[in-house]
Amino acid sequence: MAGSNCTQATEFILAGFTEAPATQVAQFLLFLLTYLVTILGNLGVITLIRASPLLHSPMYYFLGNLAFVNLCTSTIITPRMLAGVLLGKKGITYAGCMAQVFTFDLFGVVECFLLATMAYDRYVAICHPLLYPLVMSPERCSRLVTGSYLLGLANGVGQTIGMSSLFFCSSSTVNLFFCDISLLISLSTSDTTLSLVILRTSSSLLGVPSILVVLVSYVAIISTILSISSAEGKRKAFSTCASHLTVVGTFYGAMVFMYLFPRSDTSRGGDKWAAVLYTVVTPMLNPFIYSLRNQEVKEAWRR
């Protein structure tokens, strides 16, 4: 039941990180620099993959889509946060909050499945190299990417429907720098059963399988690498998946912390820094991780 002493919220207050002016200036400059590097880095990767014939392979097709998702995830969150710090306006309209929930949950699931697809791609390349051209054909790669976007769309629609059924008091404050569905559920003054069921079901049906695909793929990859007799062969095999492992570790670590174990205590600061890692830092680091650790990308940059 909605509270009788409050009216339905038309906007939310995003608490952000700090009220200290000096700290806010440093925070603004840091996040502005991070966002600019994110845009330039991911656009550079997308342009490089399209322009270089050397990178016209399934792995880089997935990487190009991952760079696009990173661009979208960062753009959904960071400009709004920067505007709030610069203008001192922490309010976000109800419609704007709904839009953030939809787009953020859409691209979050897309990234989960793209990372799982990339792990499967490395599994086939290392464990079944002779079958690789058949298994990872252009048609199958296209279907895998399309399926990732469709699953993300289903998640975004489902989470938005769950949120639309909630009632919020007009004084609702989100103790974060964007509208996160788990925190919004904890702020609602109405029955949250439907929203919690949707959140936990999507986490279980979408998040857990993608993690399992990554784990199973890398168990098989590591087993195959260990069976290689030469040290040089082991090094080359591991180098093809080291970048992906680094990206997976940061992304899934933050995601598991935030969404597979949702908490009602909105005052905990750990969620904020996990959210920064997930929404701001990881999209910036991904293109550099792949560029610095991948010889083919380095060669394409040189050319």
pTM of the entire predicted model? 0.87
Q: Which CATH class is domain 11-302?
A: mainly alpha
pLDDT, position 19 = 67
Please check whether residue 119 is in contact with residue 244, taking contact to mean a CB–CB distance below 8 angstroms: yes
- Low-confidence stretches of the chain (pLDDT < 70) are 1-5, 18-21, 170-171, 255-271, 292-296, 298, 300-301, 303
Render pLDDT for 157-170 as a digit per residue (tens, 0 to 9). Answer: 999 988 888 888 76
pLDDT, position 261 = 56
pLDDT, position 146 = 96
Please check whether residue 260 is in contact with residue 203, taking contact to mean a CB–CB distance below 8 angstroms: yes
pLDDT, position 130 = 92
Render pLDDT for 265-274 as a digit per residue (tens, 0 to 9). Answer: 444 445 677 7
Angle in degrees, CA 70, 74, 77, rounded to 5: 150
